[in-house]
Amino acid sequence: MNGLSGLALKTLTGVALGAMIVGSASAADLASPEPVVAEVPSVIDVAFGVAGVTDYVFRGLSQTHGDPAVQGYAELQAYGFYAGVWGSSVSDFVTDPSAEVDFYGGYRGTFSFLSVDVGGLYYYYPGEFTPAGTKQLDYWELYAKPAVALGDWGSITGNLYWTSDYVNVSGDGTYLSVIPKVNIPLSSFPDLGFYVSGEFGKQWVKGEKLFGLRGFLPDYLTWNIGAGVTYKAMTLDVRYSDTDLKPTECAGYTGFRKSCDERVMVKLSFDTALSKLK
């Protein structure tokens, strides 16, 4: 990363921070932004939700520099197919966007104990200011998320994301992770649901010469572990997250040396659908 200007570093930072799937409407995975809907509808429906989080963390990297964020989504569903939009407040991006808005769509299906979720999403940052020599942060990804249900006891989900245009600079980006989740049934509290979950993943970045350099961003590992409680449409999740990035490497991704450090996040979310409203 020697020779990379501070402006370029922060531009890459803001982009890499651009987060993706329920990445974070899912209480089981605060590191991703698309909503994960547990039930695949057999008829047309609309799912929606809002959330508040003490720190918007995507793949171990803070996208709000440790500050809180407000998030929300709406999703149209029809016979397993879906399309939606997810948004979050962001801060400390060099291009100073007003928000992050993710447009996504795909298909979810369940076959016995195995379920699949495949699709694509586009990260859009409205209101960006792009000085001469810099690019907007918008880019796309494809994803596949197979999951194995372990009865009422939990599940194991895999995540695979790929793009040939990582942070809009023509570099390949791949993210692979596994998310185990264990449900904790308590017969004394039938209206409450408890769970423990975690994620272990790796981000690879490869591609052509970027900003005059090759191999401008290092591969890194990230992990999180946490627990949550659900009550009707509400979920409260508390999670610990960390990465193996060094401070100088973190600055290359985010523009800040401490945005990849260990941290604890608290998230309160409300998720429902039109079919569930009375």
Find out whether 107 and 82 touch, Cβ atoms under 8 Å. Answer: yes
Distance set, CA 139 to CA 68, 77, 123, 160, 167 (Å):
24, 24, 5, 17, 6
pLDDT for residue 20: 33
Select from 2.40.33.10, 2.40.160.40, 3.40.50.720, 1.10.357.10 the CATH code of 6-276.
2.40.160.40
What are the residues facing 173 on neighbouring strands? Answer: 163, 205
Tokens in use for 191? Answer: 């209206």
CA angle, residues 180, 183, 161, in degrees to nearest 5: 30
| Mean pLDDT by groups of 10 residues along the chain of 278 residues | 37 38 36 48 87 97 94 97 97 85 97 95 91 80 97 96 87 95 87 95 76 67 97 96 94 86 97 90
Distance set, CA 14 to CA 7, 71, 125 (Å):
11, 18, 10
As a three-state string, the secondary structure of the chain is CCCCCHHHHHHHHHHHHCCCCCCCCCCCCCCCCCCCCCCCCCCCEEEEEEEEECCCEECCEECCCCCCEEEEEEEEEECCEEEEEEEECCCCCCCCCCCEEEEEEEEEEEECCEEEEEEEEEEECCCCCCCCCCCCCCEEEEEECCEEECHHHEEEEEEEEEEEEECCCCEEEEEEEEEEEEEECCCCCCCEEEEEEEEEEEEEEEECCECCECCCCCCEEEEEEEEEEEECCEEEEEEEEEECCCHHHHHHHHCCCCCCCCEEEEEEEEEEEHHHCC
Q: In whole angstroms, what is the distance from residue 37 CA to residue 127 CA?
A: 30
Burial class (CB in 10 A: 0-12, 13-18, 19+), 193: middle
pLDDT for residue 22: 33
Between β-strands 139-144 and 100-111, what pairing exists: parallel, antiparallel or unpaired? Answer: unpaired
Q: Express each pLDDT in 102-157 by its tens digit.
A: 999 999 999 989 999 999 999 999 988 877 667 788 999 999 999 999 998 999 99
**Packing angle between helix 6-17 and helix 247-254, nearest 10 degrees?**
80
